[in-house]
Amino acid sequence: MRKENPKIKKQRLQAAQDAINDILLKEGYRIIKELKYGPRFLLAEVTKRNQRALLKVCLFTNTLDKRTNLKFSREILFLKFLARSKYRFLKKSVPKIYASGLVPRTWYIREYWPGKTQNVEGGDIRFKPSFFNKDNLDWVFKFFSALQSIKKKELPAELRKLLHRSYNFNRQLWRYLEPHFELIEGYLRQPGVTQQFRRTIKEYIPAYNRATQVLSHQEPYSAHFIKNDGGFTLIDWENINWVNPVHDPVALWMRAYDHPAWQHQLYLKFKRHYRNLRQFDELWIIETFTQSCFNIVSYYFHHDTEDLQGLAMFSEKKIKEILSHKPETLF
Protein backbone atom coordinates (compact mmCIF):
# COMPACT_ATOMS: atom_id res chain seq x y z
CA MET A 1 0.00 0.00 0.00
CA ARG A 2 1.50 3.37 -0.98
CA LYS A 3 2.32 5.89 1.73
CA GLU A 4 0.09 8.89 2.30
CA ASN A 5 0.44 12.04 4.32
CA PRO A 6 -1.20 11.87 7.78
CA LYS A 7 -4.11 14.15 6.87
CA ILE A 8 -5.14 12.07 3.84
CA LYS A 9 -4.65 8.85 5.79
CA LYS A 10 -6.95 10.14 8.52
CA GLN A 11 -9.58 10.90 5.88
CA ARG A 12 -9.21 7.41 4.43
CA LEU A 13 -9.63 5.81 7.86
CA GLN A 14 -12.72 7.92 8.53
CA ALA A 15 -14.14 6.68 5.22
CA ALA A 16 -13.39 3.12 6.36
CA GLN A 17 -15.18 3.74 9.66
CA ASP A 18 -18.18 5.10 7.80
CA ALA A 19 -18.19 1.97 5.61
CA ILE A 20 -17.99 -0.26 8.70
CA ASN A 21 -20.94 1.55 10.29
CA ASP A 22 -22.95 1.12 7.08
CA ILE A 23 -22.17 -2.63 6.99
CA LEU A 24 -23.19 -3.10 10.61
CA LEU A 25 -26.41 -1.15 10.12
CA LYS A 26 -27.34 -3.00 6.93
CA GLU A 27 -26.56 -6.48 8.30
CA GLY A 28 -27.99 -5.83 11.78
CA TYR A 29 -24.83 -6.60 13.78
CA ARG A 30 -23.07 -4.68 16.52
CA ILE A 31 -19.43 -4.88 17.62
CA ILE A 32 -18.91 -6.40 21.05
CA LYS A 33 -15.11 -6.74 20.94
CA GLU A 34 -12.49 -5.22 18.64
CA LEU A 35 -9.76 -7.82 18.11
CA LYS A 36 -7.46 -6.00 15.70
CA TYR A 37 -7.43 -2.57 14.13
CA GLY A 38 -4.83 -1.82 11.46
CA PRO A 39 -2.63 -1.46 9.72
CA ARG A 40 -4.48 -3.33 6.94
CA PHE A 41 -7.84 -4.36 8.32
CA LEU A 42 -10.33 -4.36 11.17
CA LEU A 43 -11.18 -7.66 12.86
CA ALA A 44 -13.99 -7.60 15.41
CA GLU A 45 -16.35 -9.95 17.19
CA VAL A 46 -19.94 -8.99 16.40
CA THR A 47 -23.38 -10.21 17.40
CA LYS A 48 -26.95 -10.25 16.09
CA ARG A 49 -29.80 -11.75 18.11
CA ASN A 50 -27.31 -13.72 20.23
CA GLN A 51 -25.53 -15.06 17.12
CA ARG A 52 -21.80 -14.42 17.42
CA ALA A 53 -19.75 -13.77 14.28
CA LEU A 54 -16.50 -12.21 13.12
CA LEU A 55 -16.33 -9.07 11.00
CA LYS A 56 -13.25 -8.48 8.85
CA VAL A 57 -12.99 -5.28 6.77
CA CYS A 58 -10.18 -3.84 4.65
CA LEU A 59 -9.37 -0.38 5.95
CA PHE A 60 -8.29 0.85 2.53
CA THR A 61 -10.06 0.41 -0.78
CA ASN A 62 -8.84 -1.74 -3.65
CA THR A 63 -7.34 1.29 -5.39
CA LEU A 64 -5.07 1.92 -2.36
CA ASP A 65 -4.39 -1.58 -1.02
CA LYS A 66 -4.84 -4.09 -3.83
CA ARG A 67 -2.99 -6.88 -2.04
CA THR A 68 -5.19 -7.03 1.08
CA ASN A 69 -8.37 -6.74 -0.96
CA LEU A 70 -7.14 -9.53 -3.27
CA LYS A 71 -6.42 -11.82 -0.32
CA PHE A 72 -9.83 -11.25 1.27
CA SER A 73 -11.56 -11.71 -2.09
CA ARG A 74 -9.93 -15.12 -2.54
CA GLU A 75 -11.00 -16.14 0.96
CA ILE A 76 -14.61 -15.04 0.45
CA LEU A 77 -15.00 -16.63 -2.97
CA PHE A 78 -13.42 -19.91 -1.92
CA LEU A 79 -15.47 -20.31 1.26
CA LYS A 80 -18.67 -19.47 -0.63
CA PHE A 81 -17.71 -22.03 -3.29
CA LEU A 82 -17.19 -24.72 -0.64
CA ALA A 83 -20.55 -23.94 0.99
CA ARG A 84 -22.31 -24.83 -2.29
CA SER A 85 -19.99 -27.69 -3.27
CA LYS A 86 -20.12 -31.48 -3.00
CA TYR A 87 -17.17 -31.51 -0.58
CA ARG A 88 -19.04 -32.27 2.64
CA PHE A 89 -16.01 -32.91 4.83
CA LEU A 90 -14.32 -29.70 3.72
CA LYS A 91 -17.40 -27.52 4.07
CA LYS A 92 -18.00 -28.65 7.66
CA SER A 93 -14.33 -27.95 8.48
CA VAL A 94 -14.23 -24.29 7.40
CA PRO A 95 -16.22 -21.26 8.61
CA LYS A 96 -19.39 -20.17 6.83
CA ILE A 97 -19.67 -16.72 5.27
CA TYR A 98 -22.86 -14.95 6.40
CA ALA A 99 -22.45 -11.75 4.38
CA SER A 100 -19.71 -10.17 2.25
CA GLY A 101 -18.76 -7.51 -0.26
CA LEU A 102 -15.91 -7.18 -2.76
CA VAL A 103 -15.99 -3.51 -3.83
CA PRO A 104 -14.80 -0.88 -3.22
CA ARG A 105 -13.24 -2.52 -0.16
CA THR A 106 -13.49 -6.22 0.65
CA TRP A 107 -15.31 -7.29 3.80
CA TYR A 108 -17.10 -10.27 5.28
CA ILE A 109 -19.01 -11.46 8.31
CA ARG A 110 -18.33 -15.10 9.03
CA GLU A 111 -19.21 -17.85 11.43
CA TYR A 112 -17.61 -17.58 14.86
CA TRP A 113 -15.92 -20.72 16.23
CA PRO A 114 -15.46 -20.68 20.02
CA GLY A 115 -13.18 -23.75 20.23
CA LYS A 116 -9.54 -23.82 21.28
CA THR A 117 -6.80 -23.03 18.80
CA GLN A 118 -3.91 -25.50 18.67
CA ASN A 119 -1.08 -23.04 19.28
CA VAL A 120 0.98 -22.98 22.45
CA GLU A 121 -0.36 -20.04 24.44
CA GLY A 122 1.34 -16.78 23.59
CA GLY A 123 2.69 -17.89 20.21
CA ASP A 124 1.56 -18.86 16.75
CA ILE A 125 4.29 -21.28 15.61
CA ARG A 126 4.34 -24.22 18.03
CA PHE A 127 1.50 -26.71 18.16
CA LYS A 128 0.24 -28.06 21.45
CA PRO A 129 1.85 -31.50 22.00
CA SER A 130 -1.65 -33.03 22.23
CA PHE A 131 -2.22 -32.21 18.55
CA PHE A 132 0.14 -34.94 17.41
CA ASN A 133 -2.00 -38.06 17.81
CA LYS A 134 -3.37 -40.63 15.35
CA ASP A 135 -6.89 -39.18 15.13
CA ASN A 136 -5.55 -35.76 14.23
CA LEU A 137 -3.11 -37.28 11.76
CA ASP A 138 -6.04 -38.98 10.03
CA TRP A 139 -8.00 -35.71 10.02
CA VAL A 140 -5.08 -33.80 8.52
CA PHE A 141 -4.65 -36.34 5.73
CA LYS A 142 -8.37 -36.51 4.99
CA PHE A 143 -8.73 -32.73 4.91
CA PHE A 144 -5.72 -31.84 2.78
CA SER A 145 -6.12 -34.73 0.34
CA ALA A 146 -9.74 -33.61 -0.19
CA LEU A 147 -8.65 -30.00 -0.68
CA GLN A 148 -6.06 -31.11 -3.21
CA SER A 149 -8.67 -33.09 -5.16
CA ILE A 150 -10.58 -29.94 -6.20
CA LYS A 151 -10.09 -29.26 -9.91
CA LYS A 152 -9.67 -25.84 -11.47
CA LYS A 153 -12.73 -26.27 -13.69
CA GLU A 154 -14.92 -26.71 -10.58
CA LEU A 155 -14.08 -23.26 -9.25
CA PRO A 156 -16.13 -20.18 -10.21
CA ALA A 157 -14.54 -18.04 -12.90
CA GLU A 158 -14.33 -15.05 -10.53
CA LEU A 159 -12.12 -17.07 -8.18
CA ARG A 160 -10.06 -18.75 -10.89
CA LYS A 161 -8.79 -15.43 -12.18
CA LEU A 162 -7.47 -14.54 -8.69
CA LEU A 163 -5.44 -17.76 -8.31
CA HIS A 164 -2.00 -18.16 -9.84
CA ARG A 165 0.07 -21.23 -10.63
CA SER A 166 3.74 -21.28 -9.50
CA TYR A 167 5.43 -23.43 -12.11
CA ASN A 168 8.87 -21.84 -12.13
CA PHE A 169 11.15 -22.04 -9.11
CA ASN A 170 13.49 -19.29 -10.33
CA ARG A 171 10.71 -16.77 -10.85
CA GLN A 172 8.59 -17.71 -7.86
CA LEU A 173 11.03 -18.55 -5.05
CA TRP A 174 14.65 -17.91 -5.95
CA ARG A 175 14.14 -14.15 -6.08
CA TYR A 176 12.82 -14.25 -2.51
CA LEU A 177 15.54 -16.55 -1.16
CA GLU A 178 18.67 -15.14 -2.78
CA PRO A 179 18.69 -11.75 -0.95
CA HIS A 180 18.76 -13.62 2.38
CA PHE A 181 21.58 -16.07 1.67
CA GLU A 182 24.12 -14.09 3.72
CA LEU A 183 21.76 -14.06 6.69
CA ILE A 184 21.19 -17.83 6.40
CA GLU A 185 24.96 -18.41 6.12
CA GLY A 186 25.42 -16.56 9.40
CA TYR A 187 22.79 -18.68 11.15
CA LEU A 188 24.37 -21.90 9.83
CA ARG A 189 27.85 -20.64 10.77
CA GLN A 190 29.12 -21.82 7.39
CA PRO A 191 30.57 -18.93 5.33
CA GLY A 192 30.40 -19.59 1.58
CA VAL A 193 27.72 -22.26 1.89
CA THR A 194 25.49 -20.43 -0.58
CA GLN A 195 27.46 -21.96 -3.44
CA GLN A 196 26.19 -25.32 -2.18
CA PHE A 197 22.70 -23.81 -2.07
CA ARG A 198 22.91 -23.03 -5.76
CA ARG A 199 24.05 -26.54 -6.68
CA THR A 200 21.42 -28.20 -4.49
CA ILE A 201 18.58 -26.05 -5.80
CA LYS A 202 19.70 -26.64 -9.39
CA GLU A 203 19.58 -30.39 -8.76
CA TYR A 204 15.98 -30.35 -7.51
CA ILE A 205 14.46 -27.55 -9.60
CA PRO A 206 13.19 -29.94 -12.34
CA ALA A 207 11.06 -31.86 -9.82
CA TYR A 208 9.62 -28.59 -8.51
CA ASN A 209 8.85 -27.16 -11.93
CA ARG A 210 7.20 -30.36 -13.21
CA ALA A 211 5.06 -30.93 -10.12
CA THR A 212 1.29 -31.13 -10.28
CA GLN A 213 -0.40 -27.98 -9.00
CA VAL A 214 -3.11 -28.36 -6.35
CA LEU A 215 -5.09 -26.04 -4.10
CA SER A 216 -3.22 -25.11 -0.95
CA HIS A 217 -4.16 -23.27 2.22
CA GLN A 218 -0.46 -22.28 2.38
CA GLU A 219 -0.52 -21.47 6.11
CA PRO A 220 -1.56 -24.59 8.05
CA TYR A 221 -0.25 -23.05 11.25
CA SER A 222 -1.22 -23.90 14.82
CA ALA A 223 -3.31 -20.76 15.42
CA HIS A 224 -5.43 -21.56 12.34
CA PHE A 225 -6.67 -24.91 13.69
CA ILE A 226 -9.68 -24.58 16.01
CA LYS A 227 -10.80 -27.72 17.81
CA ASN A 228 -14.42 -28.74 17.34
CA ASP A 229 -16.45 -31.86 18.11
CA GLY A 230 -15.67 -33.58 14.81
CA GLY A 231 -12.06 -32.55 14.38
CA PHE A 232 -11.00 -29.02 13.48
CA THR A 233 -12.11 -25.86 11.77
CA LEU A 234 -9.34 -24.42 9.60
CA ILE A 235 -9.51 -20.62 9.37
CA ASP A 236 -7.73 -17.79 7.50
CA TRP A 237 -7.99 -18.74 3.82
CA GLU A 238 -6.76 -15.47 2.38
CA ASN A 239 -3.59 -17.05 0.92
CA ILE A 240 -5.26 -19.96 -0.88
CA ASN A 241 -3.53 -20.61 -4.19
CA TRP A 242 -2.09 -23.26 -6.52
CA VAL A 243 1.14 -24.88 -5.34
CA ASN A 244 2.82 -28.28 -5.44
CA PRO A 245 1.08 -31.11 -3.52
CA VAL A 246 3.62 -31.37 -0.68
CA HIS A 247 3.66 -27.71 0.38
CA ASP A 248 1.01 -27.95 3.12
CA PRO A 249 2.07 -31.46 4.30
CA VAL A 250 5.70 -30.34 4.62
CA ALA A 251 4.66 -27.23 6.58
CA LEU A 252 2.84 -29.45 9.09
CA TRP A 253 5.60 -32.09 9.04
CA MET A 254 8.21 -29.47 9.96
CA ARG A 255 6.11 -28.18 12.85
CA ALA A 256 6.01 -31.70 14.27
CA TYR A 257 9.78 -31.57 14.83
CA ASP A 258 9.43 -32.96 18.37
CA HIS A 259 7.24 -35.85 17.18
CA PRO A 260 9.26 -37.92 14.67
CA ALA A 261 6.86 -40.88 14.62
CA TRP A 262 3.95 -38.59 13.72
CA GLN A 263 6.13 -36.90 11.11
CA HIS A 264 7.02 -40.21 9.49
CA GLN A 265 3.41 -41.39 9.32
CA LEU A 266 2.34 -38.08 7.76
CA TYR A 267 5.03 -38.44 5.10
CA LEU A 268 4.03 -42.05 4.38
CA LYS A 269 0.34 -41.20 4.05
CA PHE A 270 0.99 -38.59 1.40
CA LYS A 271 3.63 -40.67 -0.37
CA ARG A 272 1.13 -43.53 -0.72
CA HIS A 273 -1.53 -41.06 -1.82
CA TYR A 274 0.80 -39.75 -4.55
CA ARG A 275 2.31 -43.11 -5.44
CA ASN A 276 2.11 -42.23 -9.14
CA LEU A 277 4.18 -39.08 -8.63
CA ARG A 278 7.61 -40.42 -9.54
CA GLN A 279 9.61 -37.59 -8.04
CA PHE A 280 7.68 -37.34 -4.79
CA ASP A 281 10.79 -37.59 -2.59
CA GLU A 282 12.69 -35.03 -4.67
CA LEU A 283 9.75 -32.67 -4.36
CA TRP A 284 9.58 -33.25 -0.59
CA ILE A 285 13.31 -32.47 -0.33
CA ILE A 286 13.23 -29.19 -2.26
CA GLU A 287 10.09 -28.08 -0.41
CA THR A 288 11.76 -28.90 2.92
CA PHE A 289 14.88 -27.02 1.88
CA THR A 290 12.92 -23.96 0.75
CA GLN A 291 10.68 -23.80 3.82
CA SER A 292 13.71 -24.33 6.08
CA CYS A 293 15.45 -21.32 4.54
CA PHE A 294 12.36 -19.16 5.04
CA ASN A 295 12.00 -20.41 8.64
CA ILE A 296 15.55 -19.28 9.45
CA VAL A 297 14.96 -15.89 7.83
CA SER A 298 11.73 -15.55 9.84
CA TYR A 299 13.66 -16.30 13.03
CA TYR A 300 15.55 -13.02 12.64
CA PHE A 301 12.42 -10.94 12.12
CA HIS A 302 9.86 -12.74 14.30
CA HIS A 303 8.74 -10.90 17.44
CA ASP A 304 8.89 -14.11 19.51
CA THR A 305 12.14 -15.98 18.88
CA GLU A 306 11.35 -18.47 21.66
CA ASP A 307 8.23 -19.58 19.78
CA LEU A 308 10.24 -20.03 16.57
CA GLN A 309 13.48 -21.38 18.02
CA GLY A 310 12.64 -25.08 17.83
CA LEU A 311 11.47 -24.82 14.23
CA ALA A 312 14.58 -22.80 13.27
CA MET A 313 16.88 -25.43 14.83
CA PHE A 314 15.05 -28.22 13.02
CA SER A 315 15.29 -26.24 9.78
CA GLU A 316 19.04 -25.82 10.25
CA LYS A 317 19.38 -29.58 10.70
CA LYS A 318 17.38 -30.32 7.54
CA ILE A 319 19.38 -27.85 5.42
CA LYS A 320 22.65 -29.42 6.52
CA GLU A 321 21.35 -32.94 5.82
CA ILE A 322 20.25 -31.97 2.32
CA LEU A 323 23.51 -30.16 1.57
CA SER A 324 25.49 -33.21 2.75
CA HIS A 325 23.43 -35.43 0.41
CA LYS A 326 21.80 -37.39 3.23
CA PRO A 327 18.15 -36.83 2.31
CA GLU A 328 17.18 -40.28 3.56
CA THR A 329 17.31 -38.86 7.10
CA LEU A 330 14.47 -36.52 6.16
CA PHE A 331 11.80 -39.15 6.19
- 323, 196 Cβ separation under 8 angstroms: yes
Contact 104, 157 (CB under 8 A): no
| Residue 17 scores a pLDDT above 90 | yes
**Entry pTM:** 0.93
Name the CA dihedral angle for 199, 204, 187, 262, rounded to a multiple of 10 degrees: -150
* Residue 203 confidence (pLDDT): 87
CA distance 16 to 37: 11
User: Which is nearest to 222 in space by CA: 297, 141, 122?
Assistant: 122
- For residues 98 and 110, the answer to whether their CB atoms sit within 8 Å is yes
Pick the CATH number of 6-111 from 3.40.640.10, 3.30.360.10, 3.20.20.105, 3.30.200.20: 3.30.200.20
CATH of domain 129-330: 3.90.1200.10
Give the ranges where the chain is alpha helix by DSSP (H).
Answer: 6-27, 66-83, 88-91, 134-148, 157-160, 169, 175-177, 181-188, 194-210, 247-255, 260-273, 280-301, 305-323
Beta strand extents in 103-145 (DSSP E only) = 107-111
Does this chain's domain 6-111 share its CATH topology with 129-330? Answer: no
At 109-168, the pLDDT tens digits run 999 988 899 999 878 899 999 999 999 999 999 999 999 999 999 999 999 999 987 667
Domain residue spans in the chain? 6-111, 129-330
